Structure 1
Amino acid sequence: MTRYVTSVIVLLIMAGCSSEADKQSKTTVMRLYAKAVADSFSIFIHLPADYNPEQSTKYPVVYLLDANLYFDVMAVTLNKYAEVGLAPNVILVGIGYKDFPAMDSLRNRDDTYPVAIPEYEMSTSGGADKFLSFIHGQLMPAIDQQYRTDTTKRVLMGHSLAGYFTAYTLYRDLAGTATGFSGYIAASPSLHYNHYYLPEQLKTIKDSTRVNVKAYFTFGGQEEPEPRDSGALSLQALMAQLTASVSQKITYQGDIYSNLGHMDTQLPTFIKGLQWILPSE
């Protein structure tokens, strides 16, 4: 859990600076039992400032993973950016857990596929298909029923292991599984998982009938593997492999933020990715 401590402190400070804005925001929280996962999740929902259930306007929906950590600051940031035309008005749906400690352990279960190799010493892993089934089959219909959503504009975004899940969901999409998403944003995805299992799987996708799909993947320049890491791909090599595997099938963009580390990429990636995938009209 210590790998998140620094980011938690920074994010809490940022969210605290906007506490008054939070009080006035259109945010609700609910607990939802996921049949596919056999567990309950905390679902955070933030509506744009101009949302009016009596009007016919429909909004893109952004599904944000690791919501216990990122939801508050992203809700405030998107509000402010939308006010000045730097971001689109969206319905933000955060998928989280009972609390932060639960998130820090259970994300291993939900964000990964296949089961982790023994050297990772994960007590639970490999549940990404069940998690995706919950999101697509249960959560999305619930959100669409309750709010004015544009079902052609749904974006999934996550960081680290949640970035891996985002990339895995894109892979399932390209392989022909209905995911419901038209946009994918992955900040520092843990693509080294199981010796680069997912990048290798992406290379096997020969063709795709998906159109109007965008994906934005990033890494921090300080994430460059150490020379002693046998078998590790350089960031440039990994990015080149992703581009070759994905860019011929969908609209893809990848960036390396030269001066950022693994725990620095999430917020700039989320904002820049949304600005690119859902440009303000």
Structure 2
Amino acid sequence: MTTAEKSRTSSGSLTLLERDNASSEDIFIWGWEFDAAQVEKIKDSVQELCLYDEELDSDFIIHVTLPPDYDAANAYPMFVMTDGVWRFGDHPALWEMMQSGRVEDVILVSIGYDYALDGTDNAVRGRFYCQDKALFLAFITDNLAPYLDEHYAIDFARSGLYGHSLGGVFTHYAAFNADRFGNQPFQHYIIGSPAFWSPYFLPSESDPPAYLREYGYFERNDSFEKTLYICGGEHEDADYAEFYGENDSTLEGIAHLMSRLDGYGVSSATSKIYAGSNHYEYIPELFKDFFLAHYPAQ
């Protein structure tokens, strides 16, 4: 971290449970979606960080939820979620799965934006997941991950990164650009309902079809060793039909991605389309499935 980044990085109490006392500048703290009663149950395991990234000139709100029996002498896999404005609300259910012994202990991390930014606004999300995706990936890989490594015991060889919709587009980008970094904080990449049609609407996106080439990954490499879990909802294509135009729908994009990966000889990718679900309803079930498969009780 640079001197400026260190000076603006801080940790403190769980502001979300105290948002009645939030600064008038933090107007979008009320947009965060979570069950306060459920978060109250795990609050002693949650640490809230504010990390500044100089290249993006942005502050990020990071919530770290430690497992029930966290022991700093042991290393734990880390599961990182983008869109903290929504995904922090999934921490309690996953923590409960650990407490009940259904899955092993995992450190949960969600990345949100400064409370002065509307994290639900696609213009904000589009900046980090599309326009400045390279810088955002660098922030996660070379800023956030090393910082967390200094403060927690993390098994990066078993850690995962999850993104949904625009975040799924970013997670796909992250998986196929990980080779550009010396630091490798993730083995698993979970791509939820990737809206590959979205970048076509962004004037700042110079090469929207780059995702169709996996960003040149297989031009630079002969094999792919990461794990991919690619998901969608059975009924979600109707949700955004007006935006597809000549591009793939979300489910078509998933099918074509799986076909390309098969052509590359990638054997570490699996896909699931969740029955009866639209764009996001299946997310809790996705998490349950992934944790039971990759972090089973020891």
TM interval, shorter chain, is 0.7 to 0.9
8 Å CA contact 1:30–1:44 kept in 2: the answer is: yes
Cα-to-partner distance string for 1:160-217 (whole Å, 9 max, x where unaligned): 11111111101213x6545531001122111223357254122854344443x21111
Question: Closer, same or farther in 2 for the Cα pair 1:109/1:250, shift >3 Å?
Answer: farther
List aligned pairs for 1:121-160, cutoff 5 A. Answer: 126-160=131-165
Match of 1:4 in 2: none
What is the SS of the residue equivalent to 1:152?
Answer: helix
Structure 2: distance between partners of 1:58 and 1:141 = 14
Shift of 1:20: 4.1
Shift of 1:237: 4.1
Match of 1:102 in 2: 118
Does residue 83 (structure 1) correspond to residue 88 (structure 2)? The answer is: no
Structure 1: distance between partners of 2:297 and 2:47 = 25
Cα-to-partner distance string for 1:130-168 (whole Å, 9 max, x where unaligned): 001111111100100111111212210111111111111
Question: What letter is aligned with 1:79?
Answer: W
Match of 2:50 in 1: 31
- Unmatched 5+ residue regions in structure 1? 1-7, 113-125
Question: Closer, same or farther in 2 for the Cα pair 1:17/1:264, shift >3 Å?
Answer: same
Match of 2:27 in 1: none
What is the SS of the residue equivalent to 1:104?
Answer: coil
Correspondent of 1:245 among 218, 241, 260: 260
Does residue 42 (structure 1) correspond to residue 61 (structure 2)? The answer is: yes
Does residue 279 (structure 1) correspond to residue 296 (structure 2)? The answer is: yes
Question: What letter is aligned with 1:34?
Answer: D
Structure 1: distance between partners of 2:257 and 2:209 = 13
State the TM-score, normalizing by the size of structure 2: 0.75
Structure 2: distance between partners of 1:150 and 1:84 = 22
8 Å CA contact 1:45–1:94 kept in 2: the answer is: yes
Correspondent of 1:259 among 235, 256, 276: 276
Shift of 1:223: 1.9
- Unmatched 5+ residue regions in structure 2? 1-30, 201-207
What is the SS of the residue equivalent to 1:129?
Answer: helix
Question: What letter is aligned with 2:41?
Answer: A
8 Å CA contact 1:159–1:186 kept in 2: the answer is: yes
Does residue 202 (structure 1) correspond to residue 200 (structure 2)? The answer is: no
Match of 2:287 in 1: 270
Structure 2: distance between partners of 1:197 and 1:275 = 34
| Superposition CA RMSD, Å | 2.6
State the TM-score, normalizing by the size of structure 1: 0.79
Structure 2: distance between partners of 1:100 and 1:191 = 28
Identity of aligned residues (%): 23
Shift of 1:93: 1.4
Give the total of aligned pairs: 252
